[in-house]
Amino acid sequence: MKKQIVRITAFLMFLFIGLNALEAQLLPPPPKKEVSDPDAAKILKKLKEKYSAYTALYSEYVLTIDNRETKETQNGKMTQKGNKFHIDNNGNQIFSDGVTLWMYIKNNNTVQINNYEEDEDPMSPGRILKIYESENEFIYAITNEDKASDKTEIEFTPLDKDADFFKIRIQVDVNKNEVKYIKVFAKDG
C-alpha cells in the first residue's frame, strides 16, 4: 500500500512538473518592458546638471503651431528662478510662484487663476529637463545624430496613451551642452 501511495505521489508530481513545463513552452513570454536609450540618458543627465546649476534662467523662443489647417508662429520669453516662472508668449502672460498659476489672455483681457501642480504639467519649465528621470512616464531614445554639427535629436514617447501629445523631440548641441529646440507633437494635429 505504501509503495502504491509513493508511486501515485511520484506520478502526480511528475504530471504537475510536466504540465508546468508544457504550459511554459506553450504560453508566449511576457512582454518586455521598454527601456530607454542609455546614451540618450547620458546626454540628458549632462543637460540637467548644467541647467540645474543656474540659479535663474532666461530664454527667448519661437513657438510654431503647425496643424493641418494653419501654421502660426509666436515669439516668447521665459524667466525662471527656483520654482517661480514667468512666460510672455505674444503678450499672453503666465506667472507662477510655485503654488498658484496666473494666466493673462490678451485677446480676451481675462485672467485665469489656478493651483499650480508641476507634476501634472510635463511641459512646465522646471519639468522639461527632468522628464527623462521617470521611466514610468516616458521612453526615450536618440533618433538622429549629426556628428559634423554635434547635434543630436532625442525623442520621448509617453507611456500614457491618453496623453495630449504622442511624442516630444528635442535637439541638443552636445558640444555646447545646450538645448537647440523642443518640438511637441500633439494628437490634435
Q: Rounded to whole angstroms, what are the CA distances from 115 to 4, 19, 88, 120, 150?
A: 74, 57, 19, 11, 40
pLDDT digits (tens, 9 = 90+) for 121-172: 655 555 666 777 776 788 888 898 988 888 999 998 888 888 878 888 889 9
Residue 20 has pLDDT above 60, yes or no: no
Q: What is the pTM of this model?
A: 0.69
Q: Which long-range contacts (CB under 8 A, 24 or more apart) does 14-22 make?
A: none
How do residues 84-108 score in pLDDT, each as one tens digit? 899 998 889 999 998 999 999 999 9
